[in-house]
Amino acid sequence: MKTIFFDSCPVCSSDFRHWKIKTTFFGDFNIVLCNGCGFAFVNPRPTLEYLRSFYSKRGHGDRGHRSLAEVLRSEEEYPNSTIDAKRMIKTIIDILGAEPAKGRRRFLDVGCGYGFFSREALRFGFEVTPLEFATTERAIAEEMTGLKPLPTSFEDFSAEKESYDVILMSQILEHALDVNLWVEKAYRLLTGGGVLAIALPNFASIFRLILQEKDPYIAPPSHLNFFTPKSLSLLLGKYGFVVREIQWVSRISPRSIAKRLPLGKGLAKYLPVKPILRLLDVFHLGMMINVYGVKG
């Protein structure tokens, strides 16, 4: 496998130090940590050709759903994507403000997955363009939304300057080969005052601090980039975005708790999980971050 090597931090250009070696089914991956902004990243990293092949064959790898019925059944059992979609679309609408005088706002969903966010954006009247490179997810998203997601990566996607009012990157920027290219391109594609909304794992979460490289979100070659709120805000500011809001979001399914606790489901029933997770979010140690940048 050919690789690409960075000699400085892609976010702030500072030097970096070795952090950990992560061993997965796909090999050993070196992860480095920036001495300036705290951004961690796989270095060297695979090529774009390798990643295209990886995702077209494997998809996003979450729970292995193969049909819309399976996706909806899983979501009914443990609502997750629907909750995130409602929160993020509402926040985007609040930031955008009043409806435009003419026409509908245009929404680009980068890596739309099964289509939950696209569906919620449609519900609020957005004109949605979904992108999804993974074959199974693309088929399920089409069935869920009635839209045909474009089978392309964000790198290959082409549109006129200032074509969109909103660009959503939910659980996708951590996969990107070149984070600078993605954010710079998003800025170019957004209208003035447009919103770039990003959701991804929090490298500064209490779980990552305890588990270190054993954190399940440290998962190369799927995940290549590990952001804190500081490093992601710096990246957005580098290209002219003003960060308007950051949300910390923690949620753990009962099934996951049961798997990891010695007494399984029995003990999970008595743990005050939700209050504990809410407290972690208050102290900015939550599992996920949602960052909203406005094009200045």
pLDDT in tens, 195-220: 999 999 999 999 999 999 999 999 99
CB burial of residue 89 (10 Å; 0-12, 13-18, 19+): buried
Whole-number Å distance between alpha carbons of 24 and 221? 9
Contact of 54 with 1, CB cutoff 8 Å: no
Whole-number Å distance between alpha carbons of 249 and 247? 6
pLDDT of residue 261 exceeding 80, the answer is no
Token pair for 218: 């440290």
Q: What is the pLDDT of residue 181?
A: 97
Q: What is the pTM of this model?
A: 0.93
pLDDT band at 161 (very low <50, low <70, confident <90, very high): very high
Beta strands 127-131 and 27-34 are unpaired
Indicate which CATH number applies to the domain containing 10.
3.40.50.150
Whole-number Å distance between alpha carbons of 275 and 282? 11
Contact of 124 with 88, CB cutoff 8 Å: no
DSSP H/E element including 121: helix 116-123
Q: What is the pLDDT of residue 258?
A: 53
What is the domain range of residue 291? 3-295
Q: What is the pLDDT of residue 62?
A: 54
Instruction: Count CA atoms closer than 13 A to 26's CA, side-chain side.
Output: 14
Counts of helices then strands in the chain (DSSP H, E): 11, 12
pLDDT (mean) for 270-295: 92
Token pair for 58: 């494997």
Question: Please, what is the angle between helix 135-145 and helix 68-77, to 10°?
Answer: 80
> Total domain count for the chain?
1
Whole-number Å distance between alpha carbons of 161 and 13? 27
Contact of 201 with 217, CB cutoff 8 Å: yes
Contact of 168 with 197, CB cutoff 8 Å: yes
Instruction: Count CA atoms closer than 13 A to 233's CA, side-chain side.
Output: 14
Q: What is the pLDDT of residues 45-94, one digit of tens each?
A: 999 888 888 877 676 655 566 899 999 999 998 899 999 999 999 999 99
